[in-house]
């Protein structure tokens, strides 16, 4: 009797978010995959991937924080700082160039007219990664006192 093929299932997802320093700093991480058991069996058995498009996995991490209001001596002003950063990465494998282009440009707005050869290509692989950094300062500060007459 032949061993049944694994049934592709939706991907597992791990998400963890936390707050620190009296809720002034938050951090989070997210890891997900698609058809993980079926992809693992395909790799272990040196077999083709189970589906036309395989999003092998993705990873995202972020951190953000803020100081709250910082008051200067003598009520000269109030300033607050905010900042954050994040990174993300993903890996996908495609049997058709059209599926790759659809994933890279879902609105078909900036890759129109791009053609990739299909003949002799078994699988396209795309790696997506990026980062995001933001910072801001808000407030007022009076460095000098106005003369009163």
Q: What pLDDT, on the 0 to 100 scale, is given for residue 50? A: 67
User: Residues with Cβ < 8 Å from 133, sequence gap 6 or more?
Assistant: 84, 85
What gap in Å lies between CA 115 and CA 97, rounded to an integer? 8
Q: What pLDDT, on the 0 to 100 scale, is given for residue 147? A: 52
What are the sequence ranges of the domains in the chain?
Answer: 13-70+78-136
Q: What pLDDT, on the 0 to 100 scale, is given for residue 1? A: 38
Instruction: Kindly give the pairing relationship between strand 53-66 and strand 77-94.
Output: antiparallel
Mean pLDDT of the chain: 76
Q: How far is CA 141 from the centre of its chain?
A: 37
Question: Degrees (nearest 5) of the Cα angle 15, 127, 95?
Answer: 105
CA-to-CA dists, residue 38 to 4, 54, 99, angstroms = 12, 10, 20
Per-run averaged pLDDT (10 residues), the chain, 149 residues: 40 74 77 64 74 71 83 80 87 82 83 82 84 91 62
Q: What pLDDT, on the 0 to 100 scale, is given for residue 136? A: 93
**Token couple for 38:** 């079926």
N residues, the chain:
149
Q: What pLDDT, on the 0 to 100 scale, is given for residue 131? A: 93
Q: What pLDDT, on the 0 to 100 scale, is given for residue 35? A: 55
């Amino acid at each position: 009797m032949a061993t049944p093929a694994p049934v592709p299932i939706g991907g597992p997802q791990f998400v963890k978010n936390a707050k620190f320093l009296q809720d002034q700093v938050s951090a989070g991480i997210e890891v997900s995959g698609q058809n993980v058991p079926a992809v693992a069996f395909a790799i272990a058995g040196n077999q083709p991937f189970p589906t036309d498009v395989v999003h092998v996995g993705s990873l995202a991490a972020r951190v953000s924080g803020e100081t709250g209001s910082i008051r200067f001596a003598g009520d000269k002003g109030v300033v607050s700082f905010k900042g954050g950063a994040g990174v993300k990465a993903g890996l996908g494998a495609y049997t058709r160039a059209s599926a790759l282009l659809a994933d890279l440009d879902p609105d078909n707005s900036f890759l129109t007219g791009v053609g990739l050869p299909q003949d002799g290509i078994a699988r396209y692989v795309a790696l997506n990664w990026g980062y995001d950094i933001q910072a801001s300062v808000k407030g007022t500060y009076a460095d000098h006192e106005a003369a009163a007459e």
